[in-house]
Structure formats: structure tokens, C-alpha cells
């Protein structure tokens, strides 16, 4: 049975197959090797690479801020898709990288719309740690399914720069931006009626010092809040999936082809997937001890709330779930392993990685379950279905093709030695919110087409320029545009070389 949702959709006249139409990914052009950072920090070998599951970490110089990241990823998406700025009716930004307590990043992005004459664009910034991007996506979908929708696309941007003070947390930084075009008849369709949320008050990770980029972190509490939120969202999602007719007497682990998680570091993603199996195991009245749960008999009386830091439980279920994890979740960690924690874009970087690691044929028709978490805390679990249409020129074919160069772009980055990375972090710390200020970071190392900060005047007004988008000789080369983009005529609303953020 399809459940009551189909009848409800017809009654309410919802547009069909609302979801993610297109995606664009941006990450910094420079990185530091985690193995080299281990030596520089004087920690044991493998602490970052094995203990956290990270290999590289992307970072930004003083030339990039949250505004420039968003400018880059938005213009990149518009150029790749060929849409006009007039076709966008809502623009939502999810970020926790605040550089102004009043003026939103969204208003800065409106400068890209000036040439098109389109100022009728709803939406604003959304902030709650790493959950802001998901809240922005929810807002966009809700708008399209409301009486206020005017038929245009919504554009959702998640962007952050994650930096930490010198110490054992610095290795969990990262940076990046994801842009998602949302509309009907999408290749990634959000499943209606099965979204679950868990919200509560906690001081696990927060940023009370407005003069600093650094957060205050209670590491142990942060992990506990994350896993507790995962338990709650998974249980509620399972109930709603049954009510919607999606889940009929089986586990969500069985009906989902892939799972994407918020990824502070990749070892936590492995633990999270194992946690889902633990949830299923404890509520299963007749666990199969000869199959999926072989060797887990001694954990039958475990209580979820007592197992957050139980290494025996954690290890046993990570071992039992390993084959499922490698098939259903590991492909989504490609970007996080090499870029680090991007905060709000983290979950959607996982979705982009999953798509990039699959072929058009292998991804069509799949169901993906996503878990989003932001400290403080806010969380949600929801799912999407990949369309079956994989014909040439289809929306799915375009989406898969647009992300096919992800690994090439990662490989094209510039490696920076740990001492130089450390100096860059010190520079950011000393110049954060300085005014006036002229950035000193090099521009030549940035990817073509990257927006960057040129100056901040005495009134904190920021100016940006875009590095020329010059195609390389090889089509589809990392950090470059494809040949299809070279041939495409200029997009409506193309901008002058300088933008000003009147903060």
C-alpha cells in the first residue's frame, strides 16, 4: 500500500517530485596532510588519520570568508546549469560563520542578481551550528509546497569555515560550500511525510565570543548529544516510515540503499551507522543470532542511554555492521575524509560524494536516508529517492555528470606544509574582524572562478573580486570548467569584476 500520502498530495495539489534539481560543490584550493599535522602537533602517529578517520584538511587564507565562499558556489552553479537569476524566487543561506551580527550573507549574494533586475527573492540566513543548511533546505521545500510559491526555483546554500584554536581540536577543521537548486520534477526527490526532528537545549558546542572564530566545545557532551539525537530521529523516522507505507515489517537499514550523516570526522560516521544497527537489535523481538546479529547475544540487555561510550558495544556493532557500512555509507565520506568538517555543508557534501562515487545506472531509483545534526542542539532525519529517469539529457544524467569530476578537483589542490598552515591560522586569528584591513594571502593559488576578499574599509565594508575563469586545455580538468561551459553563452545577470558588501 502507498499509504495516505498520495491521496493527500492530490488533495493539496502539491507540485510533483519536489527535491534537489542540481548541486554545486566548492572547497578551498589548499590543504594540509593530517599525517604531517600529527608530526607537527607532536601527537601519536595515527591519532588523526586512524583515530578520526581523516586524511587531509582544507582551509582558507585571509582571502576567503563566508561571503566569498557563497558567491563562488552560487555563480558556479548558475554557470553550470545555465539558468537565469530571474528563475530563482527564493534564496536561503545556512551558515554558522557569522561575520556580521545584522547583515545576512543572502543580501551580499543579491549583488549577483543585479544584472537580471530580479529583486523579488524571498529567504534569509538560518543559523544553528551545523543544522542551518538543513533548515534552509526545509524552508525552501516548504515554500514550494505552499500557496506562496510562484513557480520559480529555490536556491539553498550551505557554507562555513571551521577553524579551531591551536590544540587537539584544530585537526577537525575544514571549509566549503554547497549550493542546491530546489524545485519540482527533481532527480533527487524528498520523500513526503517521513521527516523526523529532535530538538533540545545543550551547551555542547557554541560560539559566545563574537570577536573570535573559535567555538567553545565540550567534546564528550558533543558526542553524547549527537548520538542521542541520532537515536531519537531514527526511532521517529522508522515510525513515520511505517505510517507512510514505506517501511513494512523490515528495518530502515534494509529499505535504504544509502545513509548520509553529518560528518564532524569520519570515525564518528562509522560509529553512527553501527548505532543504527544497535537500535534495530534492541527493538527486534526475535533477533537473528545466526545472521545479521551473530555474536551479539551478550549485548541483549544493553540500554541505549548507557552505551554512548561503551567501547565493547561500539566495537562489536561496528564490526557487525562493517559490510553494510562499506556498501551504504562509506561512499558518502569521500569529500569529508579529504576536506574535513565543513559544518553546514557537511551532510550535503556526503550526498554529493555518494553521487560522485556511483554511475548513472547504479544510482537510479535508490533511496538515501540523511541525518543532520547541529549542536545546541537541532537534528533531523529524512530521505530522498533518486529518479528512475537516466535517459540522455535527463535531470539525473546532468546531476551525475556535474559531480563526476569531484575527485579530480580534490586531487588538483595545493598541499601546504603544517608550519605554513599554522601561520595562516595565526593570521586569521589576528586579523579576524579587523577594519580597515587589506588581505595578504596569495590569489594565484585559488581555483579559477573563485571570489576572494580584496579589502575591508574603516566601516567594515568588504570588497570582493573574482579570479578569472580561464579554461584549461583538457576538458573537465580539476578546478576548471567543462567544455560545455566554455561554449555556453554568458548567463543573464553577469556581474562586474568587483562586488561590495555594505556592512
CA torsion 34-37-41-44 (nearest 10°) is 50
| Pair type for strands 88-94 and 153-162 | parallel
Q: Is 271 annotated as a binding residue?
A: yes
Annotated active-site residue in 96, 145, 314, 485: 96
The SS3 call for residue 308 is coil
Question: Which residues, at least 6 apart from 180, have a Cβ–Cβ distance to it below 8 Å?
Answer: 20, 22, 23, 137, 155, 156, 157, 158, 348
- Distance, in Å, from the CA atom of 407 to the CA atom of 412, rounded to the nearest integer, reads 9
204 grid coordinates: 555542547
Report how far residue 269's alpha carbon sits from residue 220's, in angstroms, rounded to the nearest whole number: 16
- Residue for cell digits 544584472? 115
Active-site option among 38, 198, 232, 262: 262
Angstrom distance (rounded) from CA 417 to CA 426: 14
Q: How far apart are CA 372 and CA 412, in angstroms?
A: 29
Hey, how many other C-beta atoms are within 10 angstroms of the C-beta on 458? 8
Q: Is residue 70 annotated as part of the catalytic site, yes or no?
A: no
Q: Is 467 annotated as a binding residue?
A: no
**Which listed residue (70, 130, 232, 233) is catalytic?**
130
Known active-site residue 60: no
In order of 105, 145, 190, 264, the CA distances from 6 in angstroms are: 37, 14, 14, 37
Do the Cβ atoms of 159 and 180 come closer than 8 Å? no
Q: What is the DSSP letter of 130?
A: B
Q: 222 among the known binding-site residues?
A: yes
Q: Is 334 a catalytic residue?
A: no
Listed in sequence order, the residues at least 6 apart from 423 whose beta carbon sits closer than 8 Å to its beta carbon are: none
Residue given cell 565594508 in the structure block: 461
Q: Say whether 267 counts as a known binding-site residue.
A: yes
Candidates 155, 151, 156; CA nearest to 184 is 151
Residues 451 and 466: their CA atoms lie apart, in Å, by 4
* Annotation: binding site: 168, 222, 267, 271
Which residues are identified as catalytic? 96, 130, 262
Which residues participate in the annotated binding site for CoA? 168, 222, 267, 271
Amino acid at each position: 500500500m502507498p499509504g495516505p500520502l498520495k491521496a493527500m498530495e492530490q488533495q493539496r495539489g502539491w507540485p510533483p517530485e519536489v527535491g534537489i534539481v542540481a548541486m554545486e560543490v566548492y572547497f578551498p584550493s589548499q590543504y594540509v596532510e593530517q599525517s604531517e599535522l600529527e608530526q607537527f602537533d607532536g601527537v601519536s602517529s595515527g591519532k588523526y588519520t586512524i583515530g578520526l578517520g581523516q586524511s587531509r584538511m582544507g582551509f582558507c587564507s585571509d582571502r576567503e570568508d563566508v561571503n566569498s565562499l557563497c558567491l563562488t558556489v552560487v555563480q558556479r552553479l548558475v554557470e553550470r546549469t545555465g539558468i537565469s537569476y530571474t528563475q530563482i524566487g527564493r534564496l536561503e543561506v545556512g551558515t554558522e560563520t557569522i561575520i556580521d551580527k545584522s547583515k545576512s550573507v543572502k543580501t551580499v549574494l543579491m549583488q549577483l542578481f543585479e544584472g537580471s533586475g530580479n529583486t523579488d527573492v524571498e529567504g534569509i540566513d538560518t543559523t544553528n551550528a551545523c543544522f542551518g543548511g538543513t533548515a534552509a533546505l526545509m524552508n525552501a521545500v516548504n515554500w514550494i509546497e505552499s500557496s506562496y510559491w510562484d513557480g520559480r526555483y529555490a536556491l539553498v546554500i550551505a557554507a562555513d569555515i571551521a577553524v579551531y584554536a591551536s590544540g587537539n581540536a584544530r585537526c577537525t577543521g575544514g571549509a566549503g560550500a554547497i549550493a542546491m537548486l530546489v524545485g519540482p520534477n527533481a532527480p533527487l526527490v524528498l520523500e513526503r511525510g517521513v521527516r523526523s526532528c529532535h530538538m533540545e537545549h545543550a551547551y555542547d558546542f557554541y560560539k559566545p565570543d563574537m570577536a573570535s572564530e573559535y567555538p567553545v566545545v565540550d567534546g564528550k557532551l558533543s558526542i553524547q548529544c549527537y548520538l542521542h539525537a541520532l537515536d531519537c530521529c531514527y526511532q521517529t523516522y522508522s515510525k513515520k516510515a511505517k505510517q507512510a507505507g514505506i517501511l513494512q515489517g523490515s528495518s530502515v537499514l534494509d529499505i535504504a540503499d544509502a545513509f548520509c550523516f553529518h560528518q564532524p570526522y569520519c570515525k564518528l560516521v562509522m560509529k553512527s551507522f553501527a548505532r543504527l544497527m544497535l537500535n534495530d537489535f534492541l527493538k527486534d523481538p526475535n533477533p537473528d543470532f545466526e545472521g545479521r546479529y551473530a555474536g551479539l547475544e551478550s549485548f541483549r540487555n544493553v540500554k541505549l542511554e548507557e552505551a554512548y561510550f561503551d567501547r565493547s558495544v561500539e566495537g562489536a556493532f561496528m564490526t557487525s555492521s562493517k559490510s553494510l557500512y562499506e556498501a551504504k555509507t562509506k561512499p558518502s565520506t569521500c569529500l569529508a575524509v579529504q576536506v574535513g568538517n565543513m559544518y553546514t555543508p557537511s551532510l550535503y557534501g556526503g550526498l554529493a560524494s555518494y553521487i560522485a562515487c556511483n554511475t548513472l545506472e547504479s544510482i537510479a531509483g535508490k533511496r538515501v536516508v540523511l541525518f543532520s545534526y547541529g549542536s545546541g542542539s537541532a537534528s533531523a532525519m529524512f530521505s530522498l529517492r533518486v529518479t528512475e529517469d537516466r535517459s540522455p539529457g535527463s535531470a539525473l544524467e546532468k546531476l551525475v555528470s556535474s559531480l563526476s569530476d569531484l575527485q579530480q578537483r580534490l586531487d588538483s589542490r595545493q598541499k601546504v606544509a603544517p608550519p605554513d598552515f599554522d601561520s595562516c591560522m595565526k593570521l586569521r586569528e589576528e586579523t579576524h574582524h579587523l577594519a580597515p584591513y587589506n588581505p595578504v594571502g596569495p590569489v594565484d593559488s585559488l581555483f579559477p572562478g573563485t571570489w576572494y576578499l580584496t579589502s575591508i574599509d574603516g566601516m567594515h565594508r568588504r570588497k570582493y573580486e573574482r579570479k578569472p575563469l580561464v579554461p584549461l586545455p583538457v576538458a573537465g580538468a580539476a578546478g576548471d570548467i567543462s567544455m560545455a561551459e566554455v561554449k555556453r553563452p554568458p548567463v543573464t545577470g553577469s556581474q562586474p569584476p568587483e562586488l561590495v558588501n555594505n556592512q
